[in-house]
């Protein structure tokens, strides 16, 4: 689920000043790389040496590709970094836990900027792609947040085409190509594919209804059909309790949830503190204490699965979500 905080506006004089001092370190010579990305062409003359990742999902891909030494900043974190990436991540400055200002990003003198969400790399976010590119800084937006997704409304977007892991794999391969580490990208993709195959082998979750709750107890954000939770659900052969809505994270009443009465509730176990019922513990306390939700079948039988916020976003951690939900379903036994 995307989060956004308006970035600061810059005056023309400040833009020119920062642009003048943004000399990147020399990069290895090369013929340059161009690729199509969300309706634009991204071109880097040489592999980036001073990259900024404006969302955790983008940062964890770059770190997984072994590119910490070519990163000068990260921002907009939802969860602690993956344990296996902690050492590398510690070498990269964190510009902000949420959206940094445009000035703060430019002060890091980037030669490349990547983001997971249009709400971060767009109007109302840190800055638009045009603002960066006018200063000679190439940008890349995750294909998981464009193409078959409309982000023009006030919510988290509406998908006309369901997200697939191929969208995540494309992001990995694109970034690997731009940084001239294609084989590392293929290795990362193969690893994700193998993990999902192993997690779902022999699992029959047909007839099982899953509800995904990201945050907010008063007006909960629940997963629609077609984002990262949809990838998890389809991989398991299960059903999403709200697969009849294409909104990414619609706000739905608990009375409507009670009518659907899901078999299992997947809980966003978040470490951020921006809304009510962020942690898994807070969500369970609400579910078991509210007179409407306490009667849900999944609540009475304590069929909960906790996932990180990043596993519920379209990222490489979606594979973690498949593994964790599959493991829980095997433990619960037949539910249909």
Helix (H, G, I), strand (E, B) or coil at 326: helix
Output DSSP code: residue 312. Answer: G
Residue 119 lies in a domain: yes
Report the alpha-carbon distance of residue 278 to residue 276 in Å, rounded: 6
pLDDT of 10 above 60: no
Q: Which of the pair, 224 or 23, is modelled with greater confidence?
A: 224
Q: What crossing angle do the helices spanning 165-178 and 318-332 adopt, rounded to 10°?
A: 150
Q: Please, which pLDDT band fits residue 22 given cuts at 50, 70 and 90?
A: very low
- Say what percent of the chain tops pLDDT 90: 85
272-295: average pLDDT: 93
Indicate whether this model's pTM tops 0.85: yes
How many domains is the chain built from?
2
Report the alpha-carbon distance of residue 152 to residue 228 in Å, rounded: 19
DSSP per residue, 280-304: HHHHHHHHHHSTTGGGSHHHHTT-E
* Pair 48, 118 in one domain: yes
CA dihedral for 92, 89, 43, 15, sign (positive or negative): negative
pLDDT of 146 above 80: yes
CATH of the domain at 183: 3.40.50.1980
* Pair 244, 271 in one domain: yes
* Pair 252, 167 in one domain: no
pLDDT of residue 60: 98
Please say which residue of 194, 221, 237 terminates a domain: 194
* Pair 218, 151 in one domain: no
Report the alpha-carbon distance of residue 113 to residue 110 in Å, rounded: 7
By residue range, what is the domain housing residue 135?
Answer: 30-194
Q: Which of the pair, 169 or 28, is modelled with greater confidence?
A: 169
């Amino acid at each position: 689920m995307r989060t956004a905080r308006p970035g600061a506006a810059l005056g023309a004089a400040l833009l020119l000043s920062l642009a003048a001092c943004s000399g990147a370190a020399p990069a290895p010579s090369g013929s340059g790389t161009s690729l199509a990305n969300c309706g634009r062409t991204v071109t880097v003359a040489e592999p980036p040496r001073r990259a900024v990742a404006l969302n955790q999902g983008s940062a964890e891909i770059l770190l997984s590709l072994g590119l910490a030494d070519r990163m000068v900043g990260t921002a907009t974190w939802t969860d602690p970094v993956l344990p296996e990436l902690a050492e590398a991540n510690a070498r990269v400055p964190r510009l902000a836990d949420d959206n940094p200002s445009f000035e703060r990003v430019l002060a890091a003198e980037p030669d490349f900027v990547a983001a997971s969400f249009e709400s971060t790399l767009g109007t109302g976010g840190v800055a638009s792609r045009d603002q960066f590119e006018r200063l000679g800084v190439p940008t890349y937006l995750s294909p998981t947040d464009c193409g078959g997704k409309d982000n023009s409304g006030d919510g988290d977007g509406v998908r006309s085409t369901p997200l697939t892991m191929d969208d995540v794999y494309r992001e990995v391969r694109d970034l690997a190509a731009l940084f001239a580490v294609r084989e590392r990208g293929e290795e990362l993709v193969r690893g994700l594919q193998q993990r999902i195959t192993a997690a779902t082998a022999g699992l029959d979750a047909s007839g099982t209804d899953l509800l995904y709750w990201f945050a907010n107890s008063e007006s909960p954000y629940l997963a629609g059909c077609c984002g990262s939770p949809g990838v998890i659900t389809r991989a398991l052969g299960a059903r999403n309790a709200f697969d009849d809505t294409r909104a990414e994270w619609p706000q739905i009443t608990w009375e409507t949830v009670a009518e659907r009465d899901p078999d299992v509730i997947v809980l966003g176990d978040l470490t951020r503190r921006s809304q009510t019922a962020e942690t898994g513990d807070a969500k369970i306390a609400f579910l078991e204490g509210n007179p409407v939700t306490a009667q849900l079948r999944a609540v009475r039988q304590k069929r909960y699965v906790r996932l990180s916020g990043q596993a519920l976003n379209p990222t490489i951690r979606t594979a973690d979500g498949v593994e964790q939900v599959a493991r829980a379903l095997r433990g619960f036994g037949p539910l249909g």
